[in-house]
Amino acid sequence: MTPTESEKTIRLNKYLALHMGFSRREADEYIERGYVKVNDIVVNLGARIAETDKVLVHGEPLVAKTEFQYLAFNKPAGYVCSRRSQGDLPTIYELLPPEYHHLKTVGRLDFNSSGLIILTNDGDFTYRLTHPKFEKTKTYNARLDHDLEPLHQQMISDYGVQLEDGPSKMMLERLSDDDRLDWKVTMTEGRNRQIRRTFASLGYEVKKLHRTNFGNYSIGDIKPGKFEIVDMR
């Protein structure tokens, strides 16, 4: 292929990642499994395509998106991070305009938690923020049902607490000098309900959990249920 031809084409996995919100690794898996055709022909890894080529995924034409989009959203408690309703539980997509319903959440917050959620169609960006090897820092404000004992604070921060899926270690900082109910929790992991399970293993219930930061991104002054369009590249 000549340099001129190369400049006019794009790697297929990059194209899928851009227009489907995949990471390139996920796009490669789609190609390997034969889910992707170009001009009605199943292609191999490393394929390149031109603007005039027709790309089919699962037999359906791929609807191209013009650019990557990033939203920073302040999730209220009482919503699930899912496109589909779970029983009678409302989803965060009910709070977003329809033109953003194709975006995927970068990680999740559980139904009772609130705070920063990032949504995007950039699969590589999602991979960099969520894969454990990148150790992205997340910060939460947590309120407990009763004062945290100093010994338990030391256990969590210095040694970690053993959960059924492995040890859980988080940095804790008091948010109030008046009591030991409110804590700033900083962690680099993101296992399912990890903060709640960690405190529960020591006899505490997390009454409120609010995420303020995810990696380099902060919730700032975004109001609950509202979002901002941001440039996170």
16-30: per-residue pLDDT in tens? 887 776 788 888 999
pLDDT tens digits, 179-191? 999 999 999 988 8
**Residue position matching structure tokens 């219930």:** 205
Burial of 197: CB neighbours in 10 Å, binned 0-12, 13-18, 19+? middle
Percent of the chain past pLDDT 90, that is, above it, reads 62
CB atoms within 10 A of CB 170: 21
CATH annotation of 137-214: 3.30.2350.10
Q: Tokens at residue 63, please?
A: 């609807």
pLDDT tens digits, 67-78? 788 999 999 999
Residues 82 and 51 sit within 8 Å (Cβ to Cβ): no
pTM of structure: 0.73
pLDDT given at position 4: 41
Known catalytic residues are 110
How far is the C-alpha of 202 from the C-alpha of 166, rounded, in Å? 15
> Is 70 exceeded by the pLDDT of residue 45?
yes
CATH annotation of 3-61: 3.10.290.10
- CATH architecture, domain defined by 70-131+218-229: 2-Layer Sandwich (3.30)
Residue span(s) of the chain under CATH 3.10.290.10 come to: 3-61
